[in-house]
Structure 1
Amino acid sequence: MACIAAWLTEDFQLGAPLRQEPIRPITATLIRRALIRALLCILLFGSLQAWLTYRQVQHSFQVAVRNVASSNVPLLSVSVWDVDIEAIQRQVNLLLENNPSIGYATVNTNTGQQFTAGQLTGAGRGQPLEFRISQPNVPSATIGTLTLNVDTNVLYRETLRSVGVVLVQCLVLTALILGLMVRVLRRELQRPMRHLAEFVEGLKADNLSIKLDLHREPSHRRDEIDLVAEGFGTLQDRIRQHIVTLDAQVTERTQQLVSALTKLKELSTTDPLTGCYNRILFNERFPGELGRAERYVRPLSIIFCDVDRFKMVNDTYGHGTGDQVLAVIGECLRRILRVGSDWVVRYGGEEFVMVLPETSLGVACEIAERLRLEIAQQVTVPLSDGAFLNVTISLGVAEQRAGEPMTSLLHRADEWLYAAKNGGRNQVQPCAQLREKETVLSSAAPNAAN
């Protein structure tokens, strides 16, 4: 039985474990527990069977002894009646030789003679059986007694043999039953559960759609393992649906985050009053514009713009009206500039800077002049009394020179702005000087011809 248990344990430990930690298969545990209970049952029923067998063998011995006595007492009756001492002793000796179950025999006659055979020592002692020796032809007359003692060693050996046969039968039957249980449990429990464990261990987030197939016999009836497999399939579907929902939520949250970051970037780089870029973005972006223009030998111009008499507007009409003036001018500047290339910055207070890539000084002056006319002719701000406030601007234009740093370019444009302010406001510098120079050259050309 110990060999069977070892074989079962070894059989259920075949194969590489699914994890590093040792596991105890359910089937091996079930077989081990069944084996322990089977051994206890064998021990219990074996003890009961041994007691019953002992009683049965003892009864059989007594019946056999009585049969021996019934067949030998008539012969002893004749020998005792004839007082044939040799015949009596010979019959007593033959009685033990022919019946190994009898360990000791005694014949006592009425004349006081005693004839014995065997030994009353050790296992030979037992409950004696006495038989009356009657007178031949006179059954009622007693002439002696025959006493027989059963050999308990023979009784025990026979009992052990009978019990051993029963125990061997029980062990063989138990081994056969356990073997069938092993086969059934391996097919119906161990293989499906191990396949389920391997399937679960091999699952990844990208292969949740794989269905679990336990490879069970088509003829098997639906049981708890099928319920586990179906429940796991339901769990897969819910996890997959949850992942899809999470993906959608992540996509939505990502879009919201991108939108929020875009708005945050826009808020951090845009002046909220005018809608133009702020000074922070100008300091980040303008050096790159200068570097590209220098690297590709392209023209780049800037326009410095300042609202005329803006302090007087604030002092006279209030800061609310001043904010309306700045908002209207910012919207006008953004509308007139070229989309995708030009950009405008609120540099500070009522000052704006327009950056014009790929633009020479002459073209920049034309754009500045168009801006000046647009604002002077069309921009008005309503006042609280129903009247309208006309607004004008002064502009200074400068084109980048080779190797010129940013501060120098800004300084030149700022100087031209102050020149426009000092020249009477509502004008573009140095465009006014360029037009005066062109007028002088045009009038001098006919005189030279004459």
Structure 2
Amino acid sequence: MSERTLIKNLSASADGDITVSGWVETVRDQKKVQFVVLRDESGAVQLVNPRSFGDDGVEVPSEIATAISGLSQGTFLTATGELKHDERVKLGGVEIKLAGLEIATVAIAETPIAADSSIDKRMDWRFLDLRRPEQNLIARVQTTFEHALRTYWIDNDFIEIHTPKLMASASESKAELFEVKYFEGKAFLAQSPQFFKQMSQPAGFGKVFEVGPAFRADPSFTSRHATEFTSVDSEISWIDSHEDVMTLHENLLVAALTAIKEKHGDEIAALFDVEVTVPTTPFPRIPLAEAKRIVADRGYEVPRHDDDMDPEGERQISAYVKETFGHEFVFLTDYAASIRPFYHMRHADDAGLTKSYDLIFNGVEISTGAQREHRIEVLEAQAREKGLDPEELSFYLDFFRYGVPPHGGFGMGLSRVIMLLLHQANLREVTYLFRGPTRLLP
């Protein structure tokens, strides 16, 4: 078999013999000429087969013509033929005049989903839904995003770690844990790598990162929650405040969005009608109390009993930042200790506030970060204040009994960032295989 050429490389290839492989997207079986649109992981091309006729005007049957007439959408095949550049061809300015077809697998003629199928129906047949060019681009954008983050980390001497996803006890809220049988006992699926990435700090690793799965037993049916998701985490030593964590966070996002804009900006504009904007630094920073006042002035009151910022408040403060600063990101800082974990450091002059932040992107929270409390006596006191038994946290608290530097970090949901970047309405659209309270298949 001739060497396969990716369809995206056809425009740069010379006219002549060529081999491409992919799946059938459409067939136009006309009387005088047959057209097949073949798509692979990189793009689509038009295959052309002029029918043959004798002097009497009667068609001379051919194997290729017969094969094309029997093609069903989704059939995978290899096509050989002559590549021709022709600017009149709308699909990439090239086409292939067929010389041969080799069918790898035949698809069932009638597909179970269509362009107007519901999202749940499309999730049932996700492997077919993923054939859409938009889904292919989403996967490539995510790949570029992760690669850019990893490049930044490695170029800045971070260490990559892989923390366990089976835990003996809760890392944060027991209410959001999945319990699993573990030999003669039980274990829990990790809801975050929080404790273990902090363990790297007394180990002297300094700056670390991880991209890995996390699990939340949260029965939420919103457009932005999942029970299994990919968490992007980083933790750094020798910080002065959460400001150092925010600086790291914004630098990472600038690097990632720069790479995405350079590599995929035109495709994103064409398929999603979205212009990728590389944000300026520093990102706007607004203390939560001030943000609530700004939102109130815009006509929305965050419920008084809520120390947090609710989803509508996030949308309102994002709109304000967009109008005032022309920015898609905003750090909301200084959250109340009442709604933050026991390991968040508190302000020396106001123990009711933590040195923490939420990062809001296009109206939705994508991350929480903070300086961690590293003084063992303070950490134990804050755990008790939260109703936690230090004895149950002994493995974690031991980290702080043998010396640990001031440190902090963040955790960020990967799919949520991609969803907001591409202006998608639902996390399921940008997750390869979504897991929610009622979905474990496919």
Taking structure 2 as the reference length, the TM-score comes to: 0.22
Structure with the bigger percentage of helix: 1
Greater gyration radius: 1
Structure with the bigger percentage of strand: 2
